[in-house]
Amino acid sequence: MALMPCFFAIKKRGGGCFLHQALYRKWRPMQFAEVIGQEHITRTLKGQAKAGRLSHAYLFCGTRGTGKTTCARILAKAINCELPQHGDPCNKCPACLSINDGSATDVIEIDAATYTGVNNIRELRDEAVYSPSLLRKRVYIIDEVHMLSTSAFNAFLKILEEPPSHVMFVLATTELHKVPATILSRCQRFDFHRIDRGKIAKRLLAIAQVENIPLEPGGAALLAHASDGAMRNALSLLEQAAAGSNGVRLDAETTSAVLGMVSAGPLLQLALAIGKGDASSALALFGEQYRAGAEPAAVMDRLSCLLRDLLICHMESKVELLGEGYSREDLQELLPKFSPGRLLYSVQTAQQALADLQRSPNRQISAEMCIVALARPVLGGEPAALAARLDALEHKLATGGFGMPATPAAKAESKPVSAKAETSSK
Ligand SMILES: [Zn+2]
């Protein structure tokens, strides 16, 4: 695959060239083959374009930043290109160029989140009957189509039932369940997947090389992990990291520091302290990360991924690990500290804390309280905490843990019990 940035979006201001441009715009794929991680879709679309068997209505669904609008634009070019290459647009003919620079009046992008009303759709319907002015087909790309009002959907359905032959609709949505079945049944549907982290990391490294950003594989893996499978997120993060690094090499450590994330080393230490029930050390480790600039939510997110991965290892499952920067071997060392029941409790507690952090007046305190609850389920009175304690006891019994010298934490907890035992024996 040729790795060429597209420069169509460079804006001119006052005659001069305004060179800064978001990386994700600059590197937006121009042909089907350049779209990463959606081969199941691009292969089909390219085949249809090549055979001239394109549908009049498509529905692209999937999470943000996975290439829906990008594919819609490539499709608009493919159907209008004067010199198509095996189904791909040439990106050189006047039709392709006008779509690339956004001047094609026959390719209309509508954000349904803004234009939700029935009148907007009626306008579209009245306009659609006229032939395209310059291109072969008029293409309507309707983003976030699920935001249309019920009456707007009904109006839209009319044109979808009997579309003029010169019109193609590409609908995109992140929330498929909100699109009426009557619309769904009239579209050819494609599901965009979250992009594989390995593919994102590889692409980031290739782009960074051309852009002279000193990104290293460790940093790329971390960015890919944080992108949640969206190329657009990954490129925005790369841009932030590059801007904050002042030319320093972006390995895993620097990247996480620049972006306020937590790297694997301190994260594993934190989990170990929690596993040992050493709340004091766990708080100190969290404090270090917090002072270094890590967002409490970022710490809790990484921690909850790690706890989830530990649970996966406990079950000896082959399911892919979510966390970045550690291996199954690293986790094996932590495993004896956690029973499966305690891990289940821990993941749930961390997830709840993450949700609560959004509206917490003091995120630092909220995160700290969660860490204490994780390290010492004994302090929590709710059924889940009690279940975790019971499970820990069973785990100890099964592994002969009662024969081992007690940890300082366990000693402290056992005091009131022994005091009671003494009084009752008197
Ligand atoms: Zn062309």
Q: How far is the CA of 140 from the centre of ligand 1 (A)?
A: 18
- Average pLDDT value for residue range 168-175: 96
Is the pLDDT confidence value at 13 over 50? no
Q: How far is the CA of 77 from the centre of ligand 1 (A)?
A: 7
197-258: what fold? Helicase, Ruva Protein; domain 3 (1.10.8)
Q: How far is the CA of 323 from the centre of ligand 1 (A)?
A: 42
What are the pLDDT digits (tens) for 222-275? 899 888 899 999 999 999 999 888 888 999 888 988 888 888 889 999 999 999
Residue predicted with more confidence, 225 or 190: 190
Q: How far is the CA of 45 from the centre of ligand 1 (A)?
A: 16
Q: How far is the CA of 89 from the centre of ligand 1 (A)?
A: 5
Give the CATH class of 264-400: mainly alpha
Strand partners, 167: 138
Q: How far is the CA of 78 from the centre of ligand 1 (A)?
A: 7
What are the pLDDT digits (tens) for 336-368? 999 888 899 999 999 999 999 988 999 999 999
| DSSP annotation of 405 | P
Q: How far is the CA of 8 from the centre of ligand 1 (A)?
A: 14
Is the pLDDT confidence value at 422 over 50? no
Is the pLDDT confidence value at 64 over 70? yes
What are the pLDDT digits (tens) for 287-336? 998 888 888 998 999 999 999 999 999 998 888 888 878 888 889 989 99
Is the pLDDT confidence value at 414 over 70? no
Distance (Å) of CA 9 to CA 57, 93, 136, 206, 358: 27, 17, 24, 21, 35
Q: Name the one residue in this structure whose structure tokens are 């024969």.
A: 403
Q: Where are the domains of the chain?
A: 21-191, 197-258, 264-400
Is the pLDDT confidence value at 17 over 50? no
What are the pLDDT digits (tens) for 124-149? 888 888 999 999 999 999 999 999 99
Rounded to whole angstroms, the Cα distance separating 361 from 308 reads 27
Q: How far is the CA of 132 from the centre of ligand 1 (A)?
A: 17
Q: How far is the CA of 80 from the centre of ligand 1 (A)?
A: 7
Q: Closest Cα partner for 116 from 163, 83, 87, 148?
A: 148
What are the pLDDT digits (tens) for 85-127? 999 999 999 999 999 999 999 999 999 988 888 888 888 888 8
**pLDDT at residue number 57:** 96
Rounded to whole angstroms, the Cα distance separating 303 from 305 reads 5
What are the pLDDT digits (tens) for 150-168? 999 999 999 999 889 999 9
Is the pLDDT confidence value at 202 over 90? yes
> DSSP E strands: which ranges in 20-102?
57-61
**pLDDT at residue number 81:** 96
What proportion of the chain, given as a percentage, has pLDDT over 90?
Answer: 60
Kindly tell me the burial class for residue 380, based on how many C-beta atoms sit within 10 Å of its own C-beta (0-12, 13-18, 19 or more): middle
Q: How far is the CA of 354 from the centre of ligand 1 (A)?
A: 48
> DSSP E strands: which ranges in 68-216?
107-111, 138-143, 167-173, 188-191
CB atoms within 10 A of CB 329: 8
Q: How far is the CA of 96 from the centre of ligand 1 (A)?
A: 4
Rounded to whole angstroms, the Cα distance separating 289 from 279 reads 15
Give the pLDDT band of residue 404 (cuts 50, 70, 90).
low
Structural tokens at position 347: 């993941």
Distance (Å) of CA 244 to CA 86, 209, 220, 247, 260: 42, 17, 15, 8, 11
**pLDDT at residue number 413:** 46
Q: How far is the CA of 315 from the centre of ligand 1 (A)?
A: 53
Give the pLDDT band of residue 61 (cuts 50, 70, 90).
very high
Structural tokens at position 232: 């657009």
**pLDDT at residue number 425:** 40
**pLDDT at residue number 96:** 96
Distance (Å) of CA 178 to CA 148, 150, 152, 163, 175: 9, 10, 13, 23, 6
Q: How far is the CA of 139 from the centre of ligand 1 (A)?
A: 15
Q: How far is the CA of 325 from the centre of ligand 1 (A)?
A: 43
Q: How far is the CA of 85 from the centre of ligand 1 (A)?
A: 8
**pLDDT at residue number 261:** 80
Q: How far is the CA of 135 from the centre of ligand 1 (A)?
A: 11
The CATH architecture assigned to 21-191 reads 3-Layer(aba) Sandwich (3.40)
Q: How far is the CA of 232 from the centre of ligand 1 (A)?
A: 25
Give the pLDDT band of residue 386 (cuts 50, 70, 90).
confident
What proportion of the chain, given as a percentage, has pLDDT over 70?
Answer: 88
Q: How far is the CA of 2 from the centre of ligand 1 (A)?
A: 17
**pLDDT at residue number 417:** 42
Q: How far is the CA of 58 from the centre of ligand 1 (A)?
A: 21
Q: How far is the CA of 136 from the centre of ligand 1 (A)?
A: 12
**Bridge pairing between strands 107-111 and 188-191:** unpaired
Q: How far is the CA of 9 from the centre of ligand 1 (A)?
A: 17
Q: How far is the CA of 176 from the centre of ligand 1 (A)?
A: 32
ipTM over the 0.95 cut-off:
yes
**pLDDT at residue number 380:** 63
**pLDDT at residue number 120:** 87
Q: How far is the CA of 137 from the centre of ligand 1 (A)?
A: 13
Q: What is the mean pLDDT of the chain?
A: 86
**pLDDT at residue number 320:** 86
Is the pLDDT confidence value at 6 over 60? no
Is the pLDDT confidence value at 196 over 70? yes
